[in-house]
Structure 1
Amino acid sequence: MRQTPLSGVFGVENAGHSWEALQQAVDRVVAIIQSDPNNDRTDRIITRWLKRHLQRLGAEVHLDQLNSLVEDRDMLAENLENLVKKERFEGMLAGRQEGEHMKAEQIARNLIAMGLLTDAQIATASGLSDNEVKVLREEQKH
């Protein structure tokens, strides 16, 4: 199958499942552009489209300076790599927060099982809200 700029665009659109896949698709598009006889014009058109596409995906990359996929591929790759690192960091933080919340719930369950403290005291000790403690207490009754 012959690789055309349009097939490259479809490759980028279908690579939305990860930023790494998107970078690979962009690399393929750059190779297609470089082999195109009208590569300057094709580069400008696809670069404009890619900037809009990345904005629609919610990518927080610095696109103002991106004028040519062929010339600025390394800059785009660096921005996408930074975006991947940021997303991984945010995922790690979210996981940590979820783990801390689960630990607080376990502490509250243990304190409820002891039967010595009020919901307000358990909330203070565990860091959960009064309502969360109330829900946990109801769960333990069943």
Structure 2
Amino acid sequence: MPLHLIKLSVGTESPETLRQWQAYFGGLHGRIYHTTRMTPKRKAEILDGGSIYWVIKGAIRARQRVVDLEEFIDEEGIKHCRIVLDPELVETRTWPHRAFQGWRYLTEDKSPPDEKQAGGAETLPEDMADELRELGLI
């Protein structure tokens, strides 16, 4: 069973704005990655089909498959990790989540299903679906 990561997407308003930012970033760098200070120790489990789940505006809303974890040392001698991502951003069922710093591990049983599997809510406007979820109606 793959192990996932979860990370805040600071400043992102929706999966679409994350998609736009990554298209711009990928155009500049030739690939999409997120740089972190700490390197996940459970690399083999993550690279065995794991994804990074993005928390956007207080909820998990999207995920991307993790392609590689690359350690490097910057020009100041500080170690970092590039989380290299598949360009496909998959929207998930909106799953409320509190803010936190850095990244965290996320197990398969604690991760939300992809929106295509969620059933019904994908046809509603995002703000309406969020409000109905908060009320416990969907």
TM-score, normalised to structure 2, is 0.31
Query: Which protein is bigger by CA-based radius of gyration?
Result: 1
Which structure is richer in relative contact order (CA contacts within 8 A, separation 6 or more)? 2
The structure with the largest helix share of the pair is 1
The structure with the largest strand share of the pair is 2
